Amino acid sequence: MTSIAIAAGMVPSAMAVAVIGGLIVSTGLSLVFVPAIFLLVDDLSRLFVRLFGRCVGGTDEPEGEDAGAYHLGSPANAAGPYGRAAAE
């Protein structure tokens, strides 16, 4: 809506071609180019994890029963991350 209003308002001026062209290019970049680059980078990151995942050490996340225990909304963590009760 903003782009349409700017384009309609710029039509009588001499700078309209540059402004409307810039709007079209920026809209195209944000709708096509940025998501395409994101997908490429995401695929590359997955490839690197596949290829070099064995070379990197283990994760810092806990394993086993306590893997999902620390969650801000869980009743188990009412005392907070440092073992003290929250001040009321």
**pLDDT recorded at residue 43:** 93
| Per-residue pLDDT tens digits for 35-84 | 999 999 999 999 988 888 777 766 665 565 555 555 555 555 555 555 55
Q: How far lies 46's CA from each of 23, 35, 53, 61, in Å?
A: 34, 16, 10, 19
State which of 1-5, 9-13, 33-37 shows the largest mean pLDDT: 33-37
| Whole-number Å distance between alpha carbons of 87 and 81 | 13
**pLDDT recorded at residue 8:** 80
Give this prediction's pTM: 0.46
**pLDDT recorded at residue 37:** 94
Domain ranges for the chain: 1-52
Tracing tokens 């903003």 back to the chain, one arrives at 2
